[in-house]
Structure 1
Amino acid sequence: MSNFVVVGGGAAGLEMVTRLASKFAGKANHSVILVEPSSHHLWKPRLHEIAAGTFDTELDAVAFRLHSACHGYQYVQGKMSGLNRAQKSIAVTSESAPEQTLHYDYLVMAVGAISNDFKTPGVSEHCLFLDSASQVEKAWEKMKQLLANGGSHRVSIVGAGATGVELAAEWAKVSHQLNRYQKGTALSITLIEAADRVLPASAQCMSEKVMKKLQKQGVNVRLNTRVQRAETDRIVTENEVIPADLQIWAAGIRCPDWLANLDGLETNRINQLKVLPTLQTTLDENVFVIGDSAECPQDDGTFVPPRAQAANQAAGHLAKQFGRLVKGKALKPFVFKDGGMVIALGHDYALMNDKVVLRGRYVRRLYDTIFRLHQQVIFGWFRVSALVVLKRVKSLLNPYYKGSWS
């Protein structure tokens, strides 16, 4: 019997259990368990849209309990609190139940990463993060509250990586659309970045194109600006004080601190678990890691980047390898195939790597296609097709901006 336990219900974890359940469906000698504290899954690359009120959570959220019942895996709502490698077990805690122990033959860690505040004073107290559905919903509620009051409001976003750039562009789009529904309501958006360009991890020409588009949208971009501290209604930098009614921190990533204390497993400086090219941890061949929480080496000496496409590829690869493993075959190494970085700016302009530029309706189609491919894995094409039709009908009846100011 092979008992697969997957910790984390993000894009990688949910695709992992879906593929495993499909692969071993109907086989009594195998079981698949997902451990996740949240009740619903939302695709992380689109969390910034939830914070802007432009994402349909009613149609596109995945209820773990219902999904597990339909696909044949067990869902345990709780948080992993400990690992015992000798006994091949993990401890799981939740608010509504006593601690329980789950035993595994193969453990897959897919807990993802969170924003890195770099221990900057005041950030954890005065800034909101976009690491989970609950956090972005909190940001959206705060934004909705501001807009309900009318007038002009100032928002600051720290970090001009993909999340910060897309959120700034989405909020700029919302500010423009608001003129149709509520005259006199506007957002003043400031994007703060310590590096000398936006998207510092991308190609120079891509950064330049994104910078021009942000400026055209009216976003105030502060480059070479290091944050010294955050206060109740302001961001304090080395050279100025930037007032804000709402402050978002989207700078850098790290993994949760508890990953650094998993029964002696090796981690790096940002708490990623070190793995071999086969995605097995360096000290335990029965513990695997996929997604942003893995430091996975490649043949050229680099590491797999913390991107959604890398997490999806790793989930698909490892599911196939588990099929080989239970048959006694050797594991093949994971090789990441870079499909380029897709940055959508307000859903009417996007860049895919440093050469391909899309505008207008093609942007929405590209972004939705990537999202639907993820949904295809967890739902199948029939339901995805139905969702596309329902969403199209709903969009014809509702405005772009779904906010309720009553």
Structure 2
Amino acid sequence: MLPRRVVFLASEYPPHVYGGLGTVIAALSRTLAQRSVAVELFVPQQPGYAAAPPGVRLHEIAVEEATSNEEYWQNFCRQAVVRAKEGLAEDIDLVHCHDWMTAPAGIGFRDVLGVPLVFSVHLPQAPGPYRRMEDLGLVQADAVIVNSQAVADEVGERPVGIAPLAILPNGVDTTAYHPAVRPPSREPYVLFVGRLVPQKGVDVLLRAFGAVLRRIPRARLLVVGDGEQRLYLERMARALGLMPQVVFLGWQTGPELVHLYQQAEVLAVPSVYEPFGLVALEGLACGRPVVASRTGGLADIVTDGTDGWLVDPADHLQLAQRLAWLLLDRRLAEGFGSAAVARAAQFAWEAVTARTQRLYADVIDGRRSDGS
């Protein structure tokens, strides 16, 4: 049975987005609503949430003060379940919780509402309290969604009896992210988009860009994002003599971000680890070649030698070689860019959401056939 109304439990919603999760939640809930699936979306209370689209109802949960991140999310889960008991509509067909933070709430909603539970793992956790909450979701759910083969392999090795796994990638909004006319006289630049944290490998990119500048002195590197390493990376760029060819732009969103993708010569995704790699998908959708680390879900997105290249993480010389090649050979870059658009179309949100909806239906039918 196709679901008519589902509950989402999530830690993020625009504009309070700290990674790719909030973007995914907004897009999946919106496209489900467009397919006549009403979404009741529970998130922590924060000021200034974006207005939910038709068919999506936002439930903001006031969370008690906590002395740790784990305690904060336990409080959120407890309060969310209380809200469900106080009068959530009875015609809910399924609960879908996202990542470890909401796993206990998902289990509580399942028990209160008597409906099946789907649990998504977007970023697997290291051993510790977060992993224990994540394992609860893996064991208690009727189905588990992961976004890449790499995450499926990692989760599948857990010493717990997990629910059936389904690999459903994140999607991209190809109406928002698309190619644009590029002036022939443009100044070439490499683009990075992401959090400035060790996981993203920006230090490797800066070392690689130093080698690029020795071959292409007029090249630029635009760094979009912010995070705990920003000051360190700015100092590193100065120490390596990369300024003013490296520009730290902070966070960019909306049309400004899309424009940066569209006009870049190449997108660099030098992550040390990446469970999926939404930024790479956005770059492909804008018709730009992507040079990414051969790690995690990036290998599921970038087709090596067709729409970009995969390089060994931490190998700044290999990264520099691939970036310089695309900066110098515009015909090659444009050929990769055309292939990139076709590749991104396979991840359009409409197609991903249709697959998600079919999984929901299978889970609901499976629960009914079991007599649950």
**TM-score, length-scaled by structure 2:** 0.31
More helix, by proportion: 2
**Structure with the larger RCO, 1 or 2 (CA within 8 Å, 6+ apart):** 1
More strand, by proportion: 1
**TM-score, length-scaled by structure 1:** 0.28
